C-alpha cells in the first residue's frame, strides 16, 4: 500500500465522484479507478459502492477512511517537522557552560532562543571549565559552548560574549569587608581561594593580574565549583577574585568589592567549525540579531576562530 493510494481513496471519498476526484488530483479517471480497485484488492474489502450516478462508501470504506485520514495527517505532520528541523527552526542543541555563565548569561541566551526559535530544545550541561568544554565539542558531546578564551583546540569557531571585570569576594569579617573599592596591591599578603584545575582560565587571569601588581597570589585553598569557592571565602579561609557574573550568586557571609585595577576575563561562545546543524546556525543568527553577541565582521571569513 502506498501513500498516493490513500490520497486517491480519500479524495474519492470526499467528492463521492471519480470524475471530480480525478480532476482534483490532476489525473485521468481511468488510472484513478484502477488504483482504487488495486487498493481494495490489497485491503481485502470493497470500499465503494459504485452506481452510474453516484459513489458511496461501504461500511468497510467508512472505517478505512478514518484510518486513512489519520495516516495522511501523520505523514503531513512528519513532513512539516522534518522541514522545520532542516530549516533550523526546531531540533535539540546541547549547550555547555561555565558555572558562572549560568547565573547571568545563560538565562538571556535561553530567553532569546525561546522567543525566536520556540520549537528549539536546549539541553544545558553546566559547570564545565573551558578545557572540558573544548574536549566535549571535539567529541560531539555538546554543540555549543559558553566558555572563557583563549581556545587551545583547532577546528573551533568562536564569538565573544562579554569582557567581565574581576570583583573581590571576602568574608564579612574580613578587614576589607567595609570597603567599596580595593586595589590588587592590598591583597599581597592575603590567602586566595581558587579553582581546583591547573588549566582554569580564571586562575590564570588572576595570577597574571597579581603579577602585574608585583606579587604572586598565595593560593591556599581550591574548589571545583564557584559555590564552594564562596563557601570557603565565607568561612574566612581566603579571598577570591572572580568574574563579575558572580554578583548574581549570593552566599551568606560573603561581601563583593569592586576592584580598582583593570583586571578582566573574557566570555565567549564556541562551536565546531564544520558543524552543519541548521539549528545551530539559526541560534547564532538569533543571538546576533538580539545583541547577545556582536555580528561577525564582514571582512572575517565565516567560522574563523578569533
pLDDT tens, position by position, 206-243: 999 999 999 999 999 999 888 999 999 999 999 999 99
Specify the length of the chain in residues: 306
- List beta partners, residue 123: 94
Q: In this structure, what C-alpha cell is assigned to residue 205?
A: 587571569
Burial of 145 (C-beta count, 10 Å sphere; 0-12/13-18/19+): buried
- d(Cα 236, Cα 191) in Å, to the nearest integer? 10
pLDDT tens column, 2-19 = 888 999 999 999 999 888
Bigger pLDDT: 303 vs 31 = 31
pTM for this entry: 0.65
- What domains can you pick out in the chain, each with its CATH number? 3-84 (1.10.10.10), 90-161+266-289 (3.40.190.10), 164-265 (3.40.190.10)
Amino acid at each position: 500500500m502506498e501513500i498516493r493510494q490513500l490520497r486517491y481513496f480519500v479524495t474519492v471519498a470526499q467528492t463521492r465522484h471519480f470524475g471530480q476526484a480525478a480532476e482534483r488530483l490532476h489525473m485521468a479517471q481511468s488510472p484513478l479507478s484502477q488504483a482504487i480497485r488495486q487498493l481494495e484488492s490489497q485491503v481485502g474489502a470493497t470500499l465503494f459502492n459504485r452506481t452510474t450516478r453516484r459513489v458511496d462508501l461501504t461500511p468497510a470504506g467508512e472505517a478505512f477512511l478514518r484510518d486513512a485520514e489519520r495516516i495522511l495527517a501523520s505523514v503531513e505532520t512528519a513532513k512539516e517537522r522534518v522541514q522545520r528541523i532542516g530549516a533550523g527552526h526546531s531540533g535539540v542543541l546541547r549547550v555547555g557552560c561555565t558555572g558562572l555563565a549560568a547565573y547571568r548569561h545563560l538565562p538571556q541566551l535561553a530567553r532569546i532562543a525561546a522567543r525566536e526559535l520556540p520549537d528549539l530544545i536546549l539541553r544545558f550541561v553546566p559547570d564545565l571549565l573551558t578545557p572540558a568544554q573544548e574536549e566535549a565539542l571535539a567529541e560531539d558531546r555538546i554543540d555549543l559552548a559558553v566558555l572563557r578564551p583563549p581556545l587551545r583546540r583547532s577546528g573551533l569557531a568562536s564569538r565573544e560574549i562579554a569582557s567581565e571585570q574581576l570583583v573581590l569576594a571576602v568574608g564579612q569579617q574580613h578587614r576589607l569587608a567595609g570597603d567599596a573599592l580595593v586595589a590588587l596591591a592590598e591583597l599581597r599578603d592575603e590567602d586566595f581561594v581558587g579553582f581546583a584545575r591547573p588549566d582554569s582560565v580564571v586562575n590564570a587571569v588572576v595570577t597574571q593580574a597579581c603579577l602585574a601588581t608585583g606579587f604572586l597570589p598565595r593560593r591556599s585553598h581550591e574548589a571545583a565549583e564557584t559555590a564552594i569557592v564562596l563557601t570557603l571565602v565565607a568561612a574566612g579561609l581566603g579571598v577570591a577574585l572572580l568574574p563579575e557574573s558572580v554578583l548574581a550568586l549570593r552566599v551568606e557571609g560573603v561581601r563583593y568589592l569592586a576592584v580598582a585595577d583593570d583586571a578582566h576575563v573574557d566570555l565567549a561562545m564556541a562551536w565546531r567549525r564544520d558543524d552543519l546543524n541548521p539549528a545551530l546556525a539559526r541560534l547564532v543568527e538569533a543571538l546576533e540579531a538580539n545583541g547577545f553577541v556582536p555580528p561577525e565582521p564582514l571582512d572575517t571569513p565565516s567560522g574563523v576562530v578569533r
